[in-house]
């Protein structure tokens, strides 16, 4: 996997600040993920538009349509598991990919140049608290997202490998 930048660098701080703004979150959600669907696949996961944080491609089955949907997402490794934060930039609503996973928890993931099948579940209790802290260590913008989300508690999703 490509070398990631140090979290304390000025560039990372600038990216974190921009990503935590409403304009930055919109840019990531609406432009970055579209670019990353191509860039991650083309480079076998070595590069993505964030430059600093690891990204994967998550393919879910649509909750209503049943069609395959692929989205690029930042993830956190936790042993063999992958952790996703369903923040949608602090939106008042959960992201579509999260709703798809809750309806159909088996998903395909392209990460580090490989495809694998994972089973999704919400982290709860102590596990959620631990993973949320780990997410904040990686990207402090999640804290602003939670404030913007109001009463919506941002889901922390654990993907466990099936095969």
Structural domains in the chain, CATH included, are: 10-161 (2.30.110.10)
Average pLDDT for the chain? 83
Look at residue 2 in the predicted model and tell me its pLDDT. Answer: 37
Torsion of CA 113, 114, 117, 123, to 10 degrees: -40
pLDDT-derived band at 1, boundaries 50, 70, 90: very low
* Per-residue pLDDT reduced to its tens digit, 72-117: 899 999 999 999 999 988 889 999 999 999 999 999 999 988 999 9
Look at residue 53 in the predicted model and tell me its pLDDT. Answer: 73
Look at residue 63 in the predicted model and tell me its pLDDT. Answer: 92
Q: pTM for the whole thing?
A: 0.76
Distance, in Å, from the CA atom of 10 to the CA atom of 113, rounded to the nearest integer, reads 29
Whether 100 contacts 60, CB under 8 Å: yes
Burial class (CB in 10 A: 0-12, 13-18, 19+), 60: buried
160 against 1, higher pLDDT: 160
pLDDT-derived band at 49, boundaries 50, 70, 90: low
Average pLDDT over residues 51-59: 81
Whether 149 contacts 69, CB under 8 Å: no
């Amino acid at each position: 996997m490509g070398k990631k930048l140090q979290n304390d660098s000025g560039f990372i701080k600038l990216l974190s600040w921009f990503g935590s703004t409403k304009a930055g979150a919109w840019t990531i959600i609406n432009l970055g993920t579209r670019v990353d669907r191509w860039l991650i696949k083309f480079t076998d996961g070595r590069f993505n538009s964030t430059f600093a944080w690891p990204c994967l491609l998550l393919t879910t089955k649509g909750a209503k349509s049943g069609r395959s949907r692929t989205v690029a997402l930042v993830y956190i490794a936790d042993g063999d598991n992958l952790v996703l934060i369903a923040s949608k930039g602090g939106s008042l609503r959960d992201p579509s990919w999260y709703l798809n996973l809750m309806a159909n928890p088996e998903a395909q993931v392209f990460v580090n140049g490989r495809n694998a099948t994972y089973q999704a579940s919400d982290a709860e209790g102590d596990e959620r608290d631990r993973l949320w802290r780990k997410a904040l260590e990686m990207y402090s913008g999640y804290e602003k997202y939670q404030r913007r989300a109001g009463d919506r508690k941002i889901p922390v999703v654990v993907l466990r490998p099936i095969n």
